[in-house]
Structure 1
Amino acid sequence: MNFDKEWDFKAWDLIKKWSNEYKIYQLAKKISTKNNKFDWLNLNNLDFTGCRDYEIDLVGEDYFERFSEKVEYDKANSLNDLFEQMEKQIPYIAYDNANIYDEDLEFQSFEKMKYLIDNHLEYFETFEPEKTSTHNVLRAAEQYIIEDFLYEFHNEFKKEFTKELEKELSLEEEKDLGIEM
């Protein structure tokens, strides 16, 4: 789907609607509850990373803000281009959202280490114990968790947002043609 003025208006309307209806939180919660990999993050717990007032759905909000900025500043030529750009942003969003303080990283450290071992054993292939601190391992674990979550979030967001946008555009087209539903 290529961008044009009508698309821009509908995309903005949809972005506002998603924001007003807290759809990003709902989508994050849906992903964390449907996927056993993320159920321990428990969005009802409100903060999986400890002292920092931080929720996993805020990672989704960060993704959504960057998506909105790309729409606002016409940073893409088509919807597919926009989603390709967003997929490339995921490692940066994960890096920006992972904790940097020891006390925050240590919160749920067992679960983070278990996740790293269960899902990203390749991390340990280049692991050098004498050069790697617990801090670095926990930060890597957190980044992997956030990144994996964001890839699932991205795929689900892409599917739902595209479906809703196409529906809005077809309703507008029917309205312009004078077709009543």
Structure 2
Amino acid sequence: MDILQKNELASKQQQTIKGYYKWHAKLYKLTRWTFLFGRRRLIHALELPMFSDQTVLEVGCGTGYNLYILSRFYPNLQVIGLDISIDMLKIATKKLSRFSRRVLFLEKSYDPGPWQLPKLPDTILFSYCLTMINPGWEDAIQRAYSDLPAGGKIADVDFHGTPFQWFKKWMGFNHVG
């Protein structure tokens, strides 16, 4: 697949995801607890210093679930949430409004394009989003490595194989995979 085909597929996938979350953003909190396991474990495994001035970037931050927990427990932490769905970002912005002085949300894909983050992060989170960045998840990982300083961390929790055919079909129906 050449770069033009890959970009075209990625653009179509982004439009599909935006359309999907336009309707599902309002239901997200009610439904995702049933299959998005491991998010809290991921946050605890980060072992961030309590009072450091670190910055965490979450790619595909959705409604801000992870960033809210991080902002609550780490009083000096700066967080950047990146998502392509404005509907999800509206919910995240409202959820994290009390932390607004140290939170930045960007409606943007995490692609290898010529844009730059306002501040390089110390940690980059991917929480159930790499399966949605398909094609392109490999580029997102490469970008993360280039955006991190020496000693920076990449943390990921996502779907992986399941023996249940019904679950595979359900995930495909919901644009995951």
TM-score by length of 1: 0.30
From the CA coordinates, give the structure whose radius of gyration is larger: 1
Give the number of the structure with larger relative contact order, counting CA–CA contacts within 8 Å between residues 6 or more apart.
Answer: 1
TM-score by length of 2: 0.31
Larger fraction in strand: 2
